[in-house]
A and B are shown apart, each in its own frame.
Chain A
Amino acid sequence: MNTKHVLVACGSGIVTSTIVMAKISREIQARGWTGIELTQGTLSDVYAQTADYDLVVTTTPLEAGPDERIISALALLAGDDTAAFFAEFAHYLSLD
């Protein structure tokens, strides 16, 4: 199976992206998903290299981004219902 590459981006690849990375990793383990590689980066990485990734997760709702495969992880930061986020996540990466 091919590894799926996900870019997790915030302003400078330090604070909010680390929080989101931790939450996504935990969920990936809990659901037993495999073959997903998370990379941490910045919003300018999103503009520079979205084409290299299967999915981009940003910690902010990105208006008018360079591509359609970009989803917002705001719900993970605000502590709201996270099911919708992971449904979207699974949909884009074709996971069950």
Chain B
Amino acid sequence: MKIFIDAIMYIVNLGPTVMIPIIMLIFGLAVRVPFAKALRGGLMVGIGFIGLNATVSILTDVMNPAIQSMIKTMGLHLQVIDVGWPSASAIAYGTAVGVSIIPLGILINIIMIVTKTTQTIDVDIWDFWHFAFSGSLVYAMTKDIVLSLFTASVFMIIVMVIADRTAPLVDKYLGLPGISIPHGYAATYVPTAIVMNWIIDKIPGVNKIHLEAKDFNKKFGAWGEPTLLGFVIGCFIGLLAYIAVPGISIADKIGKILLMGVTLSAVMVITPKMAAMLLQGVVPVSGNIQKWTQKKFSGNRKLYIGLDTAVGIGSPVVLACATLMIPVALLFAFILPGNQFLPTIGLVGFVFMFPLIVSVVHGDFFRSFIIGAIHVVIGLWIGTDLAPLVTRAARAAHFSIPKGSTLINSIDNGSDPFPWVFVKLAQNKWVLYAFGIIVCAILIFWNRKKIVAEENAKPAEAAK
């Protein structure tokens, strides 16, 4: 065990741009990708890392002075820079937990399938990063690798059970038969969404409100388009930062504001391209794993194919809610007391939180909006609270973040309930161990009971 951990730590300390190509090459060869293809894949991932690192630098370079200026001239203390989930995922994969998460995740999935504690074949290997992200935050705080891997495992087990239990709703309300969504960011809202939906049901009047989403998208569906959105938000932040600065001419101020707009637009457009390059390197590996697991486990048992939350965003309600969250997040960032988070690049990622919320509320637009908005607003606090840890994890993953006041986080992942709960519990590691074991034990026994009951019901029906 010691040698194993030392070997991982050595590779991690080389930094992700060297480490990840090596790891991906090893994974590629392990799942029988030809050598040249595996090496090219590994290098693409390293290239994506360097690209994402560069976009984070571009962003922090323009945001830092703007934030300082906002603090001085406006008294607005919004000093947490939103780097967006693509960079958050790179941070998660760039740590010791990230290195271990792909084999660990596959192992957990296989054990759960064999013991009938899940019905989901999770072929969405890439999104294991959410589990690694929580683990990485715990690692940044405690430096305890066993506890951090435990955290990632607990997160995954909870998400697998949520995926199984929401699959019938995903079929009915998102039109995705045979598919479940074991996705950390989408599943993190399910427990609280169920509670909030129950409360809304009890409020007379409010429980009768229904809205239609389809026409909304025809009018506003294009608003989340990153080129224009980035420019508008950049100009808005530039305006707040530089309009009241004494001693510079109006022409200079306009110049600074426009520079901010174009730069934010650039980061919003370039970031996904860099992340997509990184993904091109992951695809040969995850493709082979998918082929293998599906061949191995598809057969007489009924199993869901676990996919990315992106397969559920075609529902009009999902898209409409995601578009509406952009103004909600921006507005509350300025008026919520105690908030220091300034959402920017991550604003386009809200779309991924909604597929399971929409399923839980049976496709209702009004309820999805209310539940989403409450989470986004509370998420600003969570994001503020987690920012120092995310920044520390980012530095550990060799992201070049300027020293001093700069903090980074991502509005669409560093502000979720699950990571926050794990981090809070990790302040005493035995509390986290106890919590993890008890919650997982209850969930997997409950899930197994449901799975076995369902399997027994099938032959009985067939016999009739």
The answer to whether A and B interact is: yes
User: A residues engaging B (CB < 8 A)?
Assistant: 10-19, 22, 40, 42-48, 58-66, 72, 74, 77-79
Is B214 positioned at the interface, with any CB of A under 8 Å from its CB? yes
Known A18-B276, A66-B221: A77·B314 in contact at CB below 8 Å: no
- B351: which A residues are within 8 A, CB to CB? 11-12, 43
Interface size class, chain B: 35 or more
> Is A19's CB under 8 angstroms from B352's CB?
no
> Is B279's CB under 8 angstroms from A79's CB?
no
Is B316 positioned at the interface, with any CB of A under 8 Å from its CB? yes
> Is A45's CB under 8 angstroms from B348's CB?
no
> Is A16's CB under 8 angstroms from B308's CB?
yes
* Extra contacts besides A18-B283, A22-B287 (4): CB < 8 Å: A44-B226, A61-B175, A64-B217, A78-B178
Known A59-B310, A77-B311: A66·B218 in contact at CB below 8 Å: yes
Q: Chain A: which residue is nearest B275 at the CB level?
A: A14
> Is A12's CB under 8 angstroms from B349's CB?
yes
Is B313 positioned at the interface, with any CB of A under 8 Å from its CB? yes
Main SS class of interface, B: helix
Tell me the complex Cα distance, A18–B276, Å: 6
Tell me the complex Cα distance, A44–B322, Å: 11
Known A15-B126, A15-B127, A43-B319: A60·B224 in contact at CB below 8 Å: no
- A44: which B residues are within 8 A, CB to CB? 221-226, 323, 348
Tell me the complex Cα distance, A42–B279, Å: 15
Which of A14, A60, A64, A79 contacts B312, CB < 8 Å?
A60
Known A12-B272, A47-B221, A64-B214: A72·B314 in contact at CB below 8 Å: yes
In the complex, 19 of the A-B residue pairs with CB atoms within 8 angstroms, ordered by the A residue number, are A11-B309, A12-B348, A13-B272, A13-B276, A14-B275, A15-B310, A16-B311, A18-B280, A42-B272, A44-B221, A44-B323, A47-B217, A47-B222, A47-B225, A58-B314, A59-B310, A74-B179, A77-B307, A77-B308
> Is B307's CB under 8 angstroms from A78's CB?
yes
- B98: which A residues are within 8 A, CB to CB? none
- B348: which A residues are within 8 A, CB to CB? 12, 42, 44
Tell me the complex Cα distance, A43–B348, Å: 10
- A63: which B residues are within 8 A, CB to CB? 175, 314-316
Tell me the complex Cα distance, A18–B125, Å: 14
Is B83 positioned at the interface, with any CB of A under 8 Å from its CB? no
Is B86 positioned at the interface, with any CB of A under 8 Å from its CB? yes
- A16: which B residues are within 8 A, CB to CB? 307-308, 310-311
A37 to chain B, nearest CB (A): 16
- A59: which B residues are within 8 A, CB to CB? 308, 310-311
A11 to chain B, nearest CB (A): 4
> Is A78's CB under 8 angstroms from B272's CB?
no
Tell me the complex Cα distance, A17–B313, Å: 13
- B223: which A residues are within 8 A, CB to CB? 44
> Is B179's CB under 8 angstroms from A78's CB?
yes
> Is B314's CB under 8 angstroms from A79's CB?
no
Known A11-B310, A77-B311: A19·B276 in contact at CB below 8 Å: no
